[in-house]
Structure 1
Amino acid sequence: MIGARWRRAGGALWRMIVVWAVATVTMLVLAGLLPDFRLQSAHGDSATRIAVTAALGAGGFGLLSALVWPLLVRALLLVPALVLGLLVFFLNGSLLLLALRLNPAGRGGAAWETAVVVAAAMSAVASATGTALAVRDDDAYRRRLYRLADRRRRRTGDACPSTPGTVFVQLDGVGHDVLADAVRRGLLPTVGGWLGRGDPAGEAVPPTHRLTPWSTDWSSQTGASQLGILHGTNHDVPAFRWYEKDTREVMVCNHPGSAHELQCRAVARTGDAGLLGTDGASRGNLFDGGARQLALVLSMAARRGPRNRSRAGYFAYFRDPANAVRTAVSFAAEVVREWGQSARARLRGTEPRVGRAGLYPLIRAFATVVERDVVVAAVVGDLLAGRTAIYADLVGYDEVAHHSGPHSRDALKVLQRLDRSLALIAKVAGHAPRPYRIVVLSDHGQSPGETFFGRYGLTLGELVRAGCGLPVPRRAAGVLPGAGRRGSGRGGAEARSAARAALRRPAQEAAGRQPPGRRSEPVVLASGNLGLVSFPEVAHRMTRQEIDRRYPALLSVLAGHPGVGFLLVADEEHGGVVLGAGGVAVPLAALEEDPGPLAVFGPGAAAAVRRTHAFPHTADIMVNSRYDPQAGEVLAFEEQIGSHGGLGGAQSRPFLLSPLVLSDPVGEGASLVGAERVHLVLRRWLAEAGGSGDAAKGAVGGLPRRRGDGARVG
């Protein structure tokens, strides 16, 4: 036993010496390459003296990085997270200058900009060397993980249960067919291995997981799906954004205030804190699911108090200077990668195509690098702490697919990197203080297709205005299809709101870009290929007959447009009707016998439409775009060539990848429909693992309801 301890201590000392030596050599090389960085006096020194100066400087920099850096990051948690990321290089350079100033050799100096470069290079090299040494020593790697786990348990004072924990990893926007095709092509070795698709050598391996498709509600987007999955209900969430007449507010799922309000409504409806109410952690999600451990949770982003610990996720990650430098460098590389991919698409004349300029490269880099790194690091910490239930959302694929297309090379490259994140989570789970079951799922898919504006030269809002007899731009006059014109509207991807929350900037959502005070004009909102039309001057939901009396041409103009698949409106005689081209009007009660314009959308469309019709805040007119079943394409009312939010194609078909040791999510021949059903499945699995999903009931205190956080209209 004593001999083993000495061997472990000797190994740790050896690794520290090697890292120190490599850092010293790196400093010497940089001193030779950079004219503003010196390790000798102005009159020159011997090689030995210079080497000693470098060794002392490298040692001092390493010591300051270990002791001072965590304190700096904790102090800077008050700084917005993205600003902290930009300060990484400046802080690292400051530590290097301080190390040179404190150097007992009395030598060395550097200009500010040079110190930044040297510090970044040394942190990266030291991190790579330490990682390489740890990889070569599996025992040391395991001991480090166990030591971290023990430290976390001692800090919390809790004994780790022996029952299995569960990790739910949400790959945002990845459809079932996209995942299955990527596995078939060998692009996702981790997922492929779980499904028994063979190892890289081509040998057969037994499957450990099953892949199950499920169907979303009509509103096929993260707000509705994740609210239903985490909180058991997505009642009265008709779209990604919608207008509520009683409060004259626009609710937007990725707005912190709206997300908080939706979560409060769900908790009040179910009387349940959520899926993660028992020793849970919520990472990178729109909603907290009842968890106490939070990081990058949007519904709590605008709140202050002991429950809002979302910024602790940044500290846990950025307190390691090597992590900070690596993420900052990867962030810059991702921006450059986006510029290159966008330029290539323009040069090749790729169609369909949307604008990718402005802030989009930064938003993409935040989603695919910063948010991914922080969320994965938080999940690793949860595993080492032995938490019972962990739910994390990785949004990178969804963000890129909106602008490049769900089947594009750009999006698949991001999906491959997410597969490597799953591999890391699985590896750490193998060293956790309790066994873990890893469940991977998605909240929706994406359907490709040209934008509505690109196809017809006018927006849905302009089409509505024309049908109401209101002025429209000259190019939209006559409501005639255009000649493939391209707009510059912005999408509604989740990453944009996460970046705004990190910067502490409120989301800017306009209701159909209508100026306040124009209450006589309709509010037109878009959620992918789902459009919503509301008339603020009427306090209740208008019926078909009322709309016809006010705007006689509107419904026929909308239903008859070639880019529109169907409309849903209330009806005084039938309760509700689905309208299609050529005057087709099918009562909701008759859709099973005569689906009318819903036939092309599949057998579950009628039930999804009837359920949404019953919501209190369903719009006066619900507009679903045209769907081409042979090409699988829809027409987005936003500027997205990969979209989701309505009915039609792969957007309504996400997946559930679960371990075989868990019960089958559906019975033989049955199907899994709706996010609320998925919630019940996940709760059942927690109970099977001993996590007792029912124990999450109650514990709803500390989440005050507050109205007035939406975007006010009129």
Structure 2
Amino acid sequence: MGAVWAVSTVTMLVLAGILPDFRLQSADGDSATRIGITAAVGAGVFGILSALVWPLVVRALLLVPALVLGLLAFALNGSLLTLALWLIPDGRGTAAPETAVLVAAVMSAVASATGTALAVRDDNAYRRRLYRLSDRRRRRAQPVPATSGTVFLQLDGVGHDVLASAVARGLLPTVARWLGHGTAPATHRLTPWRTDWSSQTGASQLGILHGTTYDIPAFRWYEKERRQVMVSNRPASAAELQRRAVRRTGNAGLLADDGASRGNLFSGGAGQVALVLSVSARRERGQRSRSGYFAYFSDPANAVRTAMSFVAEVLREMVQSTRSRLRGDTPRVGRAGLYPFVRAFATVVERDVVVAAVMGDMLAGRTSVYADLVAYDEVAHHSGPTGPDADQVLARLDRSLALIEKVADHAPRPYRIVLLSDHGQSPGETFRSRYGLTLADLVRAGCGLPVPRRARRTPSGAEARAAVRAALHRPVEEGPADEVRPRRSEPVVLASGNLGLVSFPDVPHRMTREEIDRRHPALLTTLAAHPGIGFLLVRSEEHGAVVLGAGQALPLAEADRPGGPLEPFGPGAAEAVRRTDGFPHTADIMINSACSPETGEIHAFEEQIGSHGGLGGAQSHPFLLSPLSLPDPAPSDGSDLTGAEQVHAVLRGWLEAASPGRPAVSRPQPR
């Protein structure tokens, strides 16, 4: 503490000599000794206020949106410095408001760097420093077990091939060392796994943490009996999905035994949660969604450092998007508006808070921790899964992994670090950009409903309208340009990456192919024949599940044969579609975009050039990177690890084998 105080004092003296609006002496002038004493008093008072007042202010601001909280760090820190200068006797300390903000930021950064530099020389001091980054509300009454704890770190959206390529190109030196690239022996193994048809975080993370992906047909879907759209990343939907999962499996989740859940959609049954969407509406002490922010921002040095990184990331995104536009990169989507701030939150604030919470969990000796780092997924949606933007994010994530690994050396129990992803990302031009109309436009045209003028002018829109006229033997209904009159019988069209869902809300059951054809004779033909659509799934009264492609209508059991609609989507596609067909809330029409077998490119029905949610390309192939000390996660018969439910069985087996008195779970078998 003395060294930090001394460095802070010198920093204040230097800034007072540089900045004209910052003064540490009386109007008549003071001796060098007096100025030094004034600086020491100011630095000391500022340090005390930062330690005592700052946490109270941050706790009071937990109701402020997280984006605003990070930006307020500068103003709050400057206010504390102004108060510290005001407390110096005889009015010797003064600073203009804007200067106080600058001085406070510099002093906090210097104090943080000094404290860290000194702490790394002493294990006990280093641990104390890291504790300030953690949630200190937990105090263990019992000794920490000597058995190994497990930290599961999810790199959201990083596919198996993306990880392997990044390691080979030197972007992930920590992961490369774990895999034995170089002189050190390997400590981990890399195992690919395959998602279900719904290749997105809502389904995968629910399966990994709660053991079931049942009735999760997409990221968003319409439930007819409730007349409600479910969206995986809405708090109410996430809470309902978690309740359904617990009811179906009969257990609280992967993390129920002394676990912590950080930055996830679901809690996994953890007793310690921070930034978990499914419990974000709770108000119990220790269960508030913003508690993780308080644990991190209660240290003013963290707040300043993260706020500065936040601003830098906003500027970086603006420069990168401008450069991409000037180069004429294709495909490309809009990256203006609030997106730079959303990206900065995902890549800076969420990363810093979650990593700090994980470090605190390890130092507290918790048995299991599961944390989601969403930075890559957010950037890849708008910049593409590969390229310099995504590479920079991966490199920064590797540094976070290295920090967590170092903390494990100071934890009160040994820790095994497991790295995994929930899905990959597939590149490709969006459906709207490629064909000039949205999926909803195409569905409406196939139903003979009004469509916006921009869609009618496109080749796809004109073809759809011609098909309707031919099928109905009458003109398609016209309407004012860009105006759609909602009707009860009109379809609900939803998009989840390159997976589309069409539901007719006025029909209480899942409509059959025959019912759809009677109501809208041209719809299924229009959709199946479109070059941007790979296949449709519908139910037939006569044949059961049927897959429709261009000029084809095959029972699901035959759809993956050579030349069939599912062949371009590779092994396992038919099984994934069959499983989804059995869900209660599968849409009347399930639509998967086309996929190029050569490039793996797809056409997202959302405005994303890196997307996931359906079948096709790298999105269905995440990874599991596990220590060699753990059993091999691959199924015993040599088949692929398939589905998040199998991944859950693997992770649960590892945790139970590490707990005394608990039997290990057998290896997962094919579904």
Q: TM-score, normalised by structure 1?
A: 0.87
> What is the distance in 2 between the residues matched to 1:398 and 1:69?
33
> What is the distance in 1 between the residues matched to 2:5 and 2:130?
25
Over 3 Å counting, the alpha-carbon distance change for 1:278 and 1:46 in structure 2 is same
**Residue 580 in structure 1 maps to residue 580 in structure 2:** no
Q: How does 1:60-459 map to 2 (within 5 A)?
A: 60-104=45-89, 106-135=91-120, 137-142=121-126, 144=128, 155-198=139-182, 204-306=183-285, 308-459=287-438
> What is the distance in 2 between the residues matched to 1:173 and 1:151?
27
Contact 1:388–1:691, Cα closer than 8 Å, also in 2: no
1:709 corresponds in structure 2 to none
1:506 corresponds in structure 2 to none
Give the secondary-structure state (helix, strand or coil) at the position aligned to 2:180. Answer: coil
Over 3 Å counting, the alpha-carbon distance change for 1:243 and 1:307 in structure 2 is farther
Over 3 Å counting, the alpha-carbon distance change for 1:150 and 1:412 in structure 2 is closer
> What's the offset of the Cα at 1:28?
1.9
Pairs aligned (count) = 645
> What's the offset of the Cα at 1:158?
2.5
Q: Pick from 613, 616, 619: which aligns with 2:587?
A: 619
Q: Pick from 527, 531, 540: which aligns with 1:571?
A: 540
**Residue 557 in structure 1 maps to residue 526 in structure 2:** yes
Give the secondary-structure state (helix, strand or coil) at the position aligned to 2:194. Answer: coil
Deviates more, 1:41-50 or 1:568-577: 41-50
Q: Pick from 515, 523, 526: which aligns with 2:495?
A: 526
Over 3 Å counting, the alpha-carbon distance change for 1:312 and 1:151 in structure 2 is closer
Contact 1:123–1:322, Cα closer than 8 Å, also in 2: yes
1:602 corresponds in structure 2 to 570
Give the secondary-structure state (helix, strand or coil) at the position aligned to 1:624. Answer: strand
Over 3 Å counting, the alpha-carbon distance change for 1:276 and 1:84 in structure 2 is same
Over 3 Å counting, the alpha-carbon distance change for 1:150 and 1:618 in structure 2 is closer
In structure 2, give the amino acid aligned to 1:612.
T
In structure 1, give the amino acid aligned to 2:549.
G
Over 3 Å counting, the alpha-carbon distance change for 1:149 and 1:375 in structure 2 is closer
> What is the distance in 2 between the residues matched to 1:454 and 1:76?
42
Contact 1:152–1:384, Cα closer than 8 Å, also in 2: no
**Residue 465 in structure 1 maps to residue 450 in structure 2:** no
> What's the offset of the Cα at 1:514?
11
> CA deviation digits over 1:202-243, x for unaligned, max 9?
xx1110000000000000000000000000001000000011
Contact 2:238–2:277, Cα closer than 8 Å, also in 1: yes
Over 3 Å counting, the alpha-carbon distance change for 1:307 and 1:117 in structure 2 is closer
1:652 corresponds in structure 2 to 620
> What's the offset of the Cα at 1:152?
6.1
> What is the distance in 2 between the residues matched to 1:456 and 1:547?
25
> What is the distance in 2 between the residues matched to 1:182 and 1:295?
30
Give the secondary-structure state (helix, strand or coil) at the position aligned to 1:680. Answer: helix
> What is the distance in 2 between the residues matched to 1:618 and 1:569?
10
Over 3 Å counting, the alpha-carbon distance change for 1:264 and 1:692 in structure 2 is farther
Unaligned runs of 5+ in 2: 463-481, 666-671
Contact 2:133–2:299, Cα closer than 8 Å, also in 1: no
Contact 1:153–1:160, Cα closer than 8 Å, also in 2: no
Contact 2:264–2:275, Cα closer than 8 Å, also in 1: yes
**Residue 679 in structure 1 maps to residue 648 in structure 2:** yes
Over 3 Å counting, the alpha-carbon distance change for 1:469 and 1:313 in structure 2 is same
Over 3 Å counting, the alpha-carbon distance change for 1:599 and 1:265 in structure 2 is same
> What's the offset of the Cα at 1:310?
2.8
Q: TM-score, normalised by structure 2?
A: 0.92
> What's the offset of the Cα at 1:648?
0.2
> What is the distance in 2 between the residues matched to 1:343 and 1:248?
42
Contact 1:148–1:384, Cα closer than 8 Å, also in 2: no
> CA deviation digits over 1:85-104, x for unaligned, max 9?
22212221121111111113
> What is the distance in 1 between the residues matched to 2:201 and 2:314?
25
Give the secondary-structure state (helix, strand or coil) at the position aligned to 1:242. Answer: strand
Over 3 Å counting, the alpha-carbon distance change for 1:646 and 1:376 in structure 2 is same
> What is the distance in 1 between the residues matched to 2:353 and 2:214?
31
In structure 1, give the amino acid aligned to 2:518.
R
> What is the distance in 1 between the residues matched to 2:657 and 2:125?
31
Deviates more, 1:515-524 or 1:111-120: 515-524
Q: How does 1:655-674 map to 2 (within 5 A)?
A: 655-666=623-634, 667=636, 669-674=638-643
> What's the offset of the Cα at 1:275?
0.4
> What is the distance in 2 between the residues matched to 1:536 and 1:212?
42
> What is the distance in 2 between the residues matched to 1:274 and 1:151?
22
> CA deviation digits over 1:298-350, x for unaligned, max 9?
01112323462332211111111000000000000000000000000011111
Contact 1:662–1:688, Cα closer than 8 Å, also in 2: no
> What is the distance in 2 between the residues matched to 1:695 and 1:514?
60
Over 3 Å counting, the alpha-carbon distance change for 1:149 and 1:64 in structure 2 is closer
> What's the offset of the Cα at 1:569?
0.5
In structure 2, give the amino acid aligned to 1:144.
R
**Residue 641 in structure 1 maps to residue 625 in structure 2:** no
The two structures, once aligned, show a CA RMSD in angstroms of 2.3
Larger RCO (CA under 8 A, 6+ residues apart): 1
Give the secondary-structure state (helix, strand or coil) at the position aligned to 2:649. Answer: helix
Over 3 Å counting, the alpha-carbon distance change for 1:566 and 1:82 in structure 2 is same
Deviates more, 1:141-150 or 1:245-254: 141-150
Contact 1:327–1:369, Cα closer than 8 Å, also in 2: yes
Give the secondary-structure state (helix, strand or coil) at the position aligned to 2:604. Answer: coil
**Residue 53 in structure 1 maps to residue 38 in structure 2:** yes
Over 3 Å counting, the alpha-carbon distance change for 1:638 and 1:335 in structure 2 is same
